[in-house]
Structure 1
Amino acid sequence: MPQPAYRACSPAELEARLRLHRLPGLGPKRFHSLLQAFGSASAAFSAPASAWRALGLPDVSAHARRSPEVRDGAAAALAWLERRDQHLLMWDDPAYPGLLAEVDAAPPLLFVAGNPALLEKPQLAIVGSRRASPPALDTATAFSRHLAQGGFVITSGLALGIDGAAHQAALDVDGQTVAVLGTGLQKLYPQRHRALAAAMIEQGSAVISEFPLDAGPVAANFPRRNRIISGLSLGVLVVEASLASGSLITARLAAEQGREVYAIPGSIHHPGSKGCHQLIRDGALLVESVEQIVETLQGWQRLPPVQDAEAVGSRHALEALLLAAPQTSEALANSSGWPLSKVLAALTDLEVAGRVCNEAGRWFARPS
């Protein structure tokens, strides 16, 4: 398994990144611009305020670098990382999810409670109303169960209603699921889903957040986390949503990111159907069955168990992984369970045969 970036970098660099991450006025784009300009978080942290101003960064960010709150928050995050099943993925980490890395303003840091390897597996998002009708909850449950049994990781936002039903249904069939929070992992919201989140972590799934561990619920952060839900996923299924629902934000972000968007129709008399009907008018695929979703994901197929991979050949196993999502060679070794040397040898053969290609350090499967 590749070494996480936070283990590979120096303690000073790790602490500097955690401090930068807590600064006011410093979002993902500004975080990335600092690393690009100075080469490291340590150098950026030590640079004079005038150098930050030259990059167009606000004075409030530069002046907060040495505040006790920022220092203590970074120290608390370092202590959090020492505990079992608690991880940090950085944007330049080989284990950082490949699909999410392609998203505009990709999170520079991702805190993960549970199994971080899930983030590189094929994911489908299921989202919808917090005040979902009983039929919509039943539909979300049925789709989540079938998709999870088909090998997809079910991704959602841990909200009440459709999100919670989708997460729980995946767990009920021993599937895997990822919850993306709009708060820090130590300020889990909503509190009514605390037991659900704990069950996810205990059963090998994951709860993740781009926000500092102690970040509480702020309204503006929930639409922001939606780009992560869609960015991690091959497609987004909206089960029920009003025209004002945040689920429509997730769906529109998915479309902008080149992901598939699916919507389940409902009664013309039910306000919760209007959002899905609008998505369908905007080009989302009207779906009535799981098969209609799977058919649109050309090339995706459930992988054989790792122990059976030799029987079908390295070409099939690695290509199937790459058809699900672009990956680095290290991530392929992690997800396939093969030694890195074997993965590299197989990739060389596949590249010569024109079946895969490498761009900017990530491997892509070529359409057949």
Structure 2
Amino acid sequence: MTHKDRKYMELAPEDFPLALSQSKFMPKRLYGIGTLPEKESVGIAMVGTRRPSNSAKELCRRLVKSLIGTNAVVVSGLAQGIDSYCHEAAIEYGIPTIAVIAQGLDIPIPGDRATLARQIVDKGGCILTEYEKDFPAYKGNFPARNRIISGLSQGTVLVQSKLKGGALITADNCLQENKPLFAVPGDFDSEVASGPNFYLDQGKATPVFIPESLRLVAGLPQVKSNDSLCTAPSLSQVAATGCTLSPDALRLFKQFNGFRKTFPDLQRECNLKPVNILAILTELELAGLASTPDNFQFYFNGTP
């Protein structure tokens, strides 16, 4: 795949998709082929080893399938193994997907991954890179690529990984930005479960015990019902009514938009005093941008 046979994009920071323009890992520029996701989309990074278990493909299918009906975009790195399985599952279930590559767009992608890259673009996704058209895939490019995968996403799922590997770089980048990290537990003697188990043992990740529960564990609301979108107001619609949000409320909403969070989650992830969080939640609820059925779990369901 090259830019010559697909729609080629050169993106400035203000045009970066998903959460990347607010990320500390924001690159100076991006190049892409394909279609950028809608503004209300939520990036979910799904990463792991190039040499997963025999059951990994089905695991990835079930994880990704759980995201049907949400605003999720599956973000990964187009590598063999877990990355490719997640991209393939996203295509299968009609979920947008973004592949971030560690080379220029004119450099041929080897093997079956070239076919997968074309399928991603054909199905409404895109391929992104920070490297110019003819820049080769040097070894040092891959850790840099991983920071963009994390930067695009509002949460990361560590599917299967050894104790060393690029997927752990993405996981660490996720934690550096205080974004939620999710991990699939595995057998104690499974090498490809050692990475997820490590983060779970350290209390740094939330477990996804049942693949079909990823949507609920990640707090992603169902925004599509009978093929129609729910009518949560957008920030622009709220502003049109004359309602002005405080800077802290606006910042918190943008950080958690599209997610379900408990009050302890909010205390841990937004670094504000409880009394200030309560005031912000009240402000967002009055604006129609947040709701809670039990005063413990809070849904941030609006769109930018």
Task: Give TM-score, length-normalised by structure 1.
Answer: 0.62
| Offset, 1:151 | 3.5
2:5 maps to 1:89: no
| Offset, 1:117 | 3.2
| Offset, 1:112 | 1.4
Distance 2:32 2:243 in 1: 33
Task: Give TM-score, length-normalised by structure 2.
Answer: 0.74
Which residue in 2 is equivalent to 1:240? 160
2:170 maps to 1:257: no
Distance 1:148 1:355 in 2: 32
| Bigger shift: residues 348-357 or 288-297 | 348-357
Q: Secondary structure at the match of 1:123?
A: strand
Q: Secondary structure at the match of 1:126?
A: strand
Distance 1:258 1:206 in 2: 26
Higher relative contact order (CA 8 A, sep 6+): 2
| Offset, 1:352 | 3.3
2:241 maps to 1:349: yes
Distance 1:243 1:118 in 2: 35
Residues 154 and 179 in structure 2, CA contact (< 8 A), matched pair in contact too: yes
Change (3 A) 1:88 1:248: same
Residues 148 and 154 in structure 1, CA contact (< 8 A), matched pair in contact too: no
Match of 1:317 among 206, 224, 233: 233
Distance 1:350 1:293 in 2: 37
| Offset, 1:354 | 6.4
Change (3 A) 1:242 1:358: closer
Q: Cα RMSD over matched residues?
A: 3.0
Change (3 A) 1:303 1:354: farther
Which residue in 1 is equivalent to 2:302? none
Which residue in 2 is equivalent to 1:134? 54
Match of 2:23 among 70, 92, 103: 103
Q: Rg larger in 1 or in 2?
A: 1
Change (3 A) 1:287 1:364: closer
Where in structure 2 are the equivalents of 1:1-368 lying within 5 Å?
85-91=7-13, 93=14, 95-97=15-17, 99-118=19-38, 121-282=41-202, 283-290=204-211, 292-298=213-219, 300-304=220-224, 312=231, 316-318=232-234, 343=236, 346-349=238-241, 351-352=243-244, 367=281, 368=285
Q: Secondary structure at the match of 1:187?
A: coil
Q: How many residues align?
A: 255
Q: Secondary structure at the match of 1:351?
A: coil
Distance 2:39 2:241 in 1: 27
Distance 2:155 2:213 in 1: 12
Unaligned runs of 5+ in 1: 1-76, 320-342
Percent identity over the alignment?
26
Distance 1:363 1:259 in 2: 9
| Offset, 1:350 | 6.6
Residues 118 and 153 in structure 1, CA contact (< 8 A), matched pair in contact too: no
Code of the aligned partner of 1:173? Y
Q: Secondary structure at the match of 2:66?
A: helix
Q: Secondary structure at the match of 1:317?
A: coil
Cα-to-partner distance string for 1:46-91 (whole Å, 9 max, x where unaligned): xxxxxxxxxxxxxxxxxxxxxxxxxxxxxxx9xx59x752212101
Unaligned runs of 5+ in 2: 258-279, 286-304
Cα-to-partner distance string for 1:161-193 (whole Å, 9 max, x where unaligned): 010000001101222111010111222444430
Code of the aligned partner of 2:7? D
Change (3 A) 1:288 1:178: same
Change (3 A) 1:347 1:114: same
| Offset, 1:104 | 2.1
